[in-house]
Structure 1
Amino acid sequence: MYSELITMNRRRPLHFVVVTYQVQGHINPAIHLANRLIQIAGARITFSTPVSAHRRMFPSSAAPDQEVEDGLISYIPFSDGYDDGFHDYHSRHEVDHFISRSKQIASENLSSLVASLSARGRLVTCIIYTFFSPWVADVACDHGIPSILYWIQSATVFAIHYHYFHGYDGLVAAHRSEPLFTVRLPGLRSFHIRDLPSLLTISADDLLYSSLNTVREVFAATDSEKAWPRPTLLVNSFDVLEVDGLAAVGDEVDVITVGPLLPSACTRDRDAEELTSATDLFKSDRKAYMEWLDTKPERSVVYVSFGTVIVARKKQLEEILLGLKECGRPYLLVVRKDNPREGVELVEGENGMVVEWCSQTRVLSHPSVGCFVTHCGWNSSLESLAYGVPTVAVPQILDQRMNACMAEEAWGTGIRGELNEEGVLEGSELQRCLDAVMGEGELGVEIRRQAEKWRDNAREAIGDGGSSDRNLRASVEEVMRKATE
């Protein structure tokens, strides 16, 4: 059957428009999905993100706001009215205005883009969008095109949001100031308030409350008839990783696992890794840190990175450096260029290297890396699982707290560092965690064993004939059938 559908695709090629929010944590998994769609179905992809991100992806382009062709992927940006980015995160009013205005302008310009593609003979088969862009479903509906939400967080976090927006918001709101209060949601094991996604526990006057309303719109779109063929989403996870999370919404939503989608040896796609590095919003000198890692013994290096959003405070950076020094293990520390460094001595030498950015999948796949000190964003969580690297979790915002909870309690692949009253991971606590994870004690041995087990499970899921591979192929088949009706 699949070969027959591929033959149909040659007669009427599939054309997916992939629309993503303008941050690296959305762009990367969207690119990985686009490459898998090309790999398994020969689909044509139009990858679209706001101009502000497109310019950073292609800084050397002679026409930075124009289309960039790369094989079967065309990168075509749309304007959201903030082509130089939005930087005025000073008041709730300013953030609200940004979200409202950018949504209106982005909707109009994406609609024009879809019409332009059709006029050029590139009819759009389906639009896929990440979850901070719920307005995309309206654009797709206006053009009579099916749309699918690509949920780039965990299935468990999706289920938590689902129940929150379907009757449990009052319970969470009533106890949001009680971090150890136990929350019980249908189909899920018990959690503490402190483990829930941070957007669900903020007050109405919080600067990020607008973001909660945006996520609320995502679920409103999922509940509506605009979803196709019924409330459906692709999630960057795999079946055995989140059995409870996948079952927790019952038959109300069709949650389809297609991950872990990574540009790595885990997915057998080195070309995709090179492409993702080329489109990173942050650039790095890969040769230097990879050569440094080559000089270190197996599983000896502590890799520390808090992703593309979190900026470490001066006190936190100082404590991390203190803990790394005291533990005595070689370390690779990422301190982004936009992270304040004044007054912080970033000591480098034989035992430590500090970089402004790096290819995380390259680093995690290196045999010298023995532990990942991470903020526990979902992309980083999946990458650590896919490469079998144990973690020390230092969660901050959004879904990171739940990801840290699952790594420690559900998967057994790491431990969570405890923050002090100021929200800082002290150097002594970091040292304790590293000694536990990387040491030869019973806990460290078991964590490494679990990390290897989940690595094998992840590779099986995304490999030929694995659960996620089958799921994505079946989704493409359904799109093909609809396109030929």
Structure 2
Amino acid sequence: MMLPWALDVARERDIPLAVFWIQPATVLATYYHYFHGYGELIASHAADPAYEVTLPGLSRPLRIRDFPSFLVDTTGGEVGKVVNAVFCELFEFMDEQRRNVKVLVNTFDELEPAALAAMREHLDVFAVGPVVGSSAEARIHLFNHAGADKTRYMEWLGAQPERSVVYVSFGSIWTYSKQQMEEIADGLRRCGRPYLLVVRKDGRQEDVSRCLEDVVQERKGMVVEWCDQPEVLSHPSVGCFVTHCGWNSTLEAMALGVAVVAAPSMFDQPTNAMLIEEEWAAGVRGERNGEGIFSGPELARCVELVMGDGARAVEVRKKVESRKGMARDAMAPGGPAERNLRSFVMEVQSSDEARRKDTNTISPPP
């Protein structure tokens, strides 16, 4: 969904284009409406996190704090400008070539019914998710993990009680500052629960590594450089997932029935966190402090909310089991994801046949 050269190829060759939207349909809707009449309103209130914007078709208003970060960026940073320019070009292209553009969204109808219905009024949308690898052999990974000791951490998980482990991973890109690592370590100590913490090798600056050594010495949990996340989330000993809330991680948690502690930072993460907490009641959103740090006390508070014995924890567990069932139904052979993908293929074939027929009926030049 962010390859501008693909738009040029499609335009110059007059061929259809399919966009694989790797974020939720709700984010697709926010970008669509931002570039179709709501941009000025959103931008003019970007400094007010609590300001609510009602977008057509969505089930609830979005606060500014819930929008994708670059749409409400007040820093004027170059990355935000570039990303917004790319999306602006994409939506302009889709307006120009509506009949020639199809959008495959990595979500499923029961997860985001309102957003998908709203977008189908404007775009040719197909819900083909959740795209979650069903086997280790079928999955590819962003980083080399040849040295990862999978047997070690899986055996460790197998020795823990059911729903007892706090799994902490902030995705494939995130690196930890010393301060953030200290707060995570403090939060895990406060939880008093076994934990599996993922910190990539390239994210282990010297001061972070020293902090990790202190955590490991406490022997309450395990720190690894990489893990097979879907397999970890599938393990019965995992009780919650502390995550940055990237969409892949969010979908994996929903599909595998794990409660979420969301600590969003940028991109689509704030919207995903809102969906988890408010739309699906499948977890809680942690608050970062004024320095952008997810503090230890806040981490511990959120973990207790979803793993404790309180009413909210019980409700969260019910909701995640419900979402897990919906996801399984969506992914099942012959289920909604497969039917939608087959429908997409049939439409492409039909359009291609029509184009060929039109080409063959054109009279040759004299």
TM-score when normalising by structure 1 = 0.68
SS of the counterpart of 2:40?
helix
Please state how far the C-alpha of 1:480 moved relative to its aligned partner. 3.2
SS of the counterpart of 1:422?
coil
CA distance in 2, matches of 1:367, 1:465: 28
Asked whether 1:223 is paired with 2:95, we answer yes
Alignment match, 1:155 = 25
Paired letter, 1:348: V
CA distance in 2, matches of 1:421, 1:256: 40
Alignment match, 1:170 = 40
Asked whether 1:303 is paired with 2:171, we answer no
Trace 1:271-290 onto structure 2 (pairs within 5 A).
273-277=136-140, 279-283=141-145, 284-290=148-154
CA distance in 2, matches of 1:167, 1:475: 29
1:396 to 242, 254, 265: 265
Superposed CA offset, 1:219-243 (max 9, x none): 1222122x5x444200000001111
Paired letter, 1:139: V
**Is residue 19–residue 101 contact of structure 2 (8 Å, CA) maintained in 1?**
no
1:460 to 325, 329, 340: 329
**Any unmatched runs of 5+ in structure 2?**
357-366
Alignment match, 1:195 = 66
Trace 1:467-478 onto structure 2 (pairs within 5 A).
467-478=336-347
Please state how far the C-alpha of 1:250 moved relative to its aligned partner. 4.8
1:292 to 156, 169, 180: 156
Asked whether 1:142 is paired with 2:12, we answer yes
**Is residue 230–residue 253 contact of structure 1 (8 Å, CA) maintained in 2?**
no
**Is residue 262–residue 383 contact of structure 1 (8 Å, CA) maintained in 2?**
yes
**Is residue 391–residue 414 contact of structure 1 (8 Å, CA) maintained in 2?**
yes
Paired letter, 1:330: P
Paired letter, 1:150: F
Alignment match, 2:194 = 330
Asked whether 1:343 is paired with 2:343, we answer no
SS of the counterpart of 1:440?
coil
**Is residue 375–residue 396 contact of structure 1 (8 Å, CA) maintained in 2?**
yes
Please state how far the C-alpha of 1:138 moved relative to its aligned partner. 2.0
CA distance in 2, matches of 1:479, 1:139: 17
Paired letter, 1:451: V
Please state how far the C-alpha of 1:172 moved relative to its aligned partner. 0.9
Paired letter, 2:340: N
**Is residue 223–residue 231 contact of structure 1 (8 Å, CA) maintained in 2?**
no
Please state how far the C-alpha of 1:340 moved relative to its aligned partner. 4.1
CA distance in 2, matches of 1:215, 1:193: 19
CA distance in 1, matches of 2:69, 2:75: 13
**Is residue 303–residue 332 contact of structure 1 (8 Å, CA) maintained in 2?**
yes
2:241 to 372, 381, 396: 372
SS of the counterpart of 1:159?
helix
TM-score when normalising by structure 2 = 0.90
Task: Kindly tell me the number of residue pairs found equivalent between the two proteins.
Answer: 345
By relative contact order (CA 8 Å, sep 6+), the higher-ranking structure is 2
Deviates more, 1:399-408 or 1:140-149: 140-149
Deviates more, 1:467-476 or 1:333-342: 333-342
Change (3 A) 1:275 1:462: closer
Please state how far the C-alpha of 1:249 moved relative to its aligned partner. 3.1
Instruction: Give me the CA root mean square deviation.
Output: 1.7
Alignment match, 1:210 = 82
Please state how far the C-alpha of 1:467 moved relative to its aligned partner. 1.6
1:263 to 121, 126, 133: 133
Paired letter, 1:310: W
Paired letter, 1:408: E
Structure with the largest fraction of helix = 2
